[in-house]
């Protein structure tokens, strides 16, 4: 069996992540939650800063579109980010 037969393109799922440049937060969906990451300048690694869910994710197996993830991130930022 050749590579394209064993691993067809449609057998992979992609997950969107977005970064809000002014705050430095990165958002992605995982297991019914939206994970918020923050870059640690001292270690150089990204770490979990927070996580949250919304109504769109309460349906089993739901996957957010990029637009839905951005709307969710904006809502979280409005409640949790103090602009400098």
User: Over the stretch 12-66, which tens digit does the pLDDT of each residue have?
Assistant: 777 799 999 999 999 999 888 999 999 999 999 999 999 999 888 888 778 888 9
The model's pTM is: 0.80
pLDDT of residue 67: 93
Specify the number of domains making up the chain. 1
pLDDT of residue 46: 95
Task: Identify whether 7 is part of a domain.
Answer: no
> How far is Cα 34 from Cα 20, in angstroms, rounded to an integer?
14
Domain range for 40 is 16-76
Task: Identify whether 5 is part of a domain.
Answer: no
Residue 73 has pLDDT above 90, yes or no: yes
Mapped onto helix, strand or coil, the DSSP state of residue 35 is strand
Task: Identify whether 31 is part of a domain.
Answer: yes
> How far is Cα 76 from Cα 84, in angstroms, rounded to an integer?
17
Helices H, strands E: what count in the chain? 2, 4
Q: Are 76 and 36 in contact (CB under 8 A)?
A: yes
Task: Identify whether 62 is part of a domain.
Answer: yes
Q: Are 33 and 26 in contact (CB under 8 A)?
A: no
């Amino acid at each position: 069996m050749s590579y394209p037969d064993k691993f067809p393109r449609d057998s992979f799922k992609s997950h969107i992540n977005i970064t809000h440049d002014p705050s430095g937060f990165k958002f992605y969906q995982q297991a019914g939650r939206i994970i918020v990451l923050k870059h640690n300048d001292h270690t150089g690694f990204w770490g979990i800063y927070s996580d949250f869910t919304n109504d769109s994710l309460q349906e089993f197996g739901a996957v957010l579109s990029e637009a839905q993830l951005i709307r969710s991130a904006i809502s979280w930022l409005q409640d949790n980010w103090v602009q400098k």
